Amino acid sequence: QKEVEQDPGPLSVPEGAIVSLNCTYSNSAFQYFMWYRQYSRKGPELLMYTYSSGNKEDGRFTAQVDKSSKYISLFIRDSQPSDSATYLCAMSANYGGSQGNLIFGKGTKLSVKP
């Protein structure tokens, strides 16, 4: 079993839809969970992060972590064509990232149609 599983999609939705992106993981030591957004021909950029279980909201974006199920989600409300990108989940067991211990999913390609 891979450490982090993420459906690569592609996922196509109409403008205004609620989008749900998900990752599952196997390592129960993971405590820090992140979502990165990668536009075409660009590097990933940090979108949201959460620590341990719970929800975090930032504008139209909500990140959820369910450690008991080893499952994390990113919800996008009122999706816009500008949200079209690849979304990568990432997670880590340790607070310090300099050891390169951030584990990424494959990324889900999202397309929001006008």
As a whole number of angstroms, the distance between CA 13 and CA 67 comes to: 28
Q: Which C-beta is closer to other proteins: that of 14 or that of 41?
A: 41
As a whole number of angstroms, the distance between CA 75 and CA 57 comes to: 9
Report whether 54 contacts 65 (CB < 8 A). Answer: yes
Is 99 a binding residue for other proteins by CB under 8 A? The answer is yes
Give least dist CB 105 to other proteins, A.
Answer: 6
As a whole number of Å, the CA-based R_g of the chain is: 14
> Restricting to residues 31-90, which ones interact with other proteins according to CB under 8 A?
32, 34, 36, 41-46, 49, 51, 88
Q: Which residues bind other proteins (CB under 8 A)?
A: 4, 6, 8, 32, 34, 36, 41-46, 49, 51, 88, 92, 94-107
